[in-house]
Structure 1
Amino acid sequence: MKVLVAEYAYATEFQPLINEGIAMLSTLVRDFEECGCEVEYLAPPRAKHLKWGRGVPCSDFERDFEQRLKYVDAALAIAPDDMLYQLNTMVEEYCVNLGCPPKSAKVCADKRATYQVLKENNIPTPEPWNGNGMCVEKPRFGCGSEDVFISDCPSGEGWEFVGGMSMSVGCVVSDSCAIPLTLNLQRILMKPEGKGIRVEYIGNTVPYHHPKREESYEIAIKACKALGCRGYVGVDVVVGDDVWVVDVNPRPTNSIIGVSEVLERRVGELILRARVPDFIGGLEEIPQRLRIKGVLSFTKYELPSILASMFS
């Protein structure tokens, strides 16, 4: 089976996120290749080649992505959430989509729309800010901790502040079942800046042992199902007295760098089982709780040294 992986930050050389992009891309290209796939990926001109797969020169991300879709059996796009609806729609016109359905990606990209779905399904999530006390300010359309502030006077979208540990649950979802993989600690840097405190993601500890792990798993899976997600989904949660869903990422996230290393199964294999069950078997054939064989902790500042081993 021929598979195309297109990671936006790497293919476009978007410097703020390029190291995270390369790490996610190389993890998935390696995983898919180990499963017997013929893998290609979009690469910027004159870029070094990964140890796995075949790089296809890219000068215009969307144009080149659509062009390559004509020659593969399945594809996975990793890009800013507000681009995924269009990209995943393209994929489904030509081949099997290894990511979320376009409509699901569109809802997840809109924090207001996501809030409505979560509330309708009785999934704990912060309320819109009512004007009293501290709040979390973040763009309605945005990825992860991009432009997130804790403030008492938001100029944009404000949400109730809930106390606890910033964590995430990696999930893989098929049409018939869903498996939580790991509960991860998000390493967060908080810096005073202008109107409040900037919240910046800097890394992960995968997995992180916490007494509310099973509760976090249950709530994350419930959120994925409510939003119609498929493939790999990163559910951001705050774990305190309760477990709150604060964001749902309808695509692979940085945590897969660790998840694919510490689990007894590779993330790429699980995605294939979820989206192309006829290829190597369905997700339902996998235990609901996979064995974890270690812990991996990293920051984005350490990625350059990690990436050095990923190029040929």
Structure 2
Amino acid sequence: MKVLITEYVLSTYYGDNSIIDLMPEAIAMVRSLVRSLIVSRAYVGVTISPFISSSLLPINGNVIRVDPHDYFNEVKRVSGDFDYVIAIAPPRELIKVVDVIDDGKLLQPPKNLIKLFSNKYDAIKELSKCGFRVPKTELITSNDVNNHVQQFHSPAVVKPTYLAGSECVYLVNNDYELRRALAYAINCDPDGMAVLQEFINGVHGSISIVYGVNGPLFYSLNLQFIKNDAGSLHFIGGILPIRKRELQREVEGLVHGIFSCYPELRGYVGLDVVWNDGGIHIIEVNPRPTTSIAGIVSLYPGFGRHILSTYSKDAMGTIFLGDAVNGYAYYVLYDNDSEKNLGTDDIDKEVISVFQRS
């Protein structure tokens, strides 16, 4: 099976600093995906910008240099040589790139669900209709900030509707912080919109899932590390898998419940969640591989076989990572400006460090 991995940040970098902060996670996800798919005997191609040193991706896959200024057309052209494609990108760009790929080639959710879940407001609204626990969430534009400030209840989280990870995400506790955070988030968002979300007290984590035609094939519950830097929230790493049995049973029910509501789901899906005595709350949906894949593959190199089984009608059963492996992996982002010199040819360090412990 021939699989193309196309990661927006790695493919569109052309020497500026506008997307450099997303580079560590991009490299970690691609490295891990390539490793696990090759172990599972797939032929793998990876699109990459000519402005990035090949030493940043010491992989055995076929590196395909693409024009970063014509990325979407390049992906359309290159994808014709592959059986399947896995696209990774920030939400708005992800919608655009899957639009140029043939429907039957996506090893991930279909285009309509990628569009739905990429919008942080629409995703929560739809999940609420299916009966899942979600935070109260409001959509805000620059024209109606005053109305929402008057109805504000602290604490709350403000974030853009279409950005990835923890870009421009803020925890606010009063009117002043809310106005400032909304201005930043609206300015960050490509559509000039932000969401104001109830802050759920509890343990922050994520759920990594692979869906096939018959339902979930794999899932893992992961702990997330979130840094609060004077109200600005940043994801800095995580630990997996969490094996608490009572929690695992609830996660398994949630994973199957989402498939019951959206039976067309396929491939890797990541959920950002918070759990407390009231249960598991879904905060966001990522219809693409997430950073947790770095920890998963370090413990379970054969993870790629589940992704390759996305369209197999013979794939049965659901594997929980905590039952499939021993020990734990924890992964942390480097915070070192010297690692950001992407023009050198001798960088061979892991840009995300992954450690294993029993």
**2:186 aligned with 1:142:** no
In structure 1, distance between residues paired with 2:352 and 2:157: 36
Q: Please state how far the C-alpha of 1:116 moved relative to its aligned partner.
A: 1.8
In structure 2, distance between residues paired with 1:20 and 1:288: 24
In structure 1, distance between residues paired with 2:199 and 2:351: 36
**2:114 aligned with 1:70:** no
**2:60 aligned with 1:26:** no
Percent identity of paired positions between Structure 1 and Structure 2? 25
The CA deviation string for residues 240-274 of structure 1, in whole angstroms up to 9 with x for no partner, is 112100001000000000112223x6332111111
In structure 1, distance between residues paired with 2:319 and 2:252: 14
Partner of residue 268, structure 1: 304
Partner of residue 154, structure 2: 133
Q: Please state how far the C-alpha of 1:147 moved relative to its aligned partner.
A: 1.4
Larger Rg: 2
Runs of 4+ in 1 over 6 A off after TM superposition: none
The two structures have a TM-score, normalised by structure 1, of 0.87
Residue of structure 1 aligned with 2:95, choices 79, 85, 93: 85
Instruction: Give matches, 1:108-127, under 5 Å.
Output: 108-127=117-136
Partner of residue 38, structure 1: 43
**Contact kept? 1:29, 1:53, Cα under 8 Å:** yes
SS at match of 2:326: coil
Partner of residue 212, structure 1: 247
Partner of residue 186, structure 1: 224
User: Cα RMSD between the aligned structures?
Assistant: 2.4
AA matched with 1:10: L
Residue of structure 2 aligned with 1:56, choices 49, 64, 68: 64
The CA deviation string for residues 134-181 of structure 1, in whole angstroms up to 9 with x for no partner, is 111111222222211111333242111110011001111112111452
In structure 1, distance between residues paired with 2:32 and 2:79: 21
Residue of structure 2 aligned with 1:100, choices 95, 99, 109: 109
SS at match of 1:17: helix
Residue of structure 2 aligned with 1:202, choices 233, 236, 251: 236
Partner of residue 316, structure 2: 284
**Contact kept? 2:215, 2:259, Cα under 8 Å:** no
In structure 1, distance between residues paired with 2:352 and 2:207: 28
Q: 1:150 to 1:107 in 2, by over 3 A?
A: same
AA matched with 1:39: V
In structure 2, distance between residues paired with 1:78 and 1:225: 25
**Contact kept? 1:171, 1:221, Cα under 8 Å:** no
SS at match of 1:63: helix
**2:332 aligned with 1:299:** yes
**Contact kept? 1:229, 1:250, Cα under 8 Å:** no
SS at match of 1:293: coil
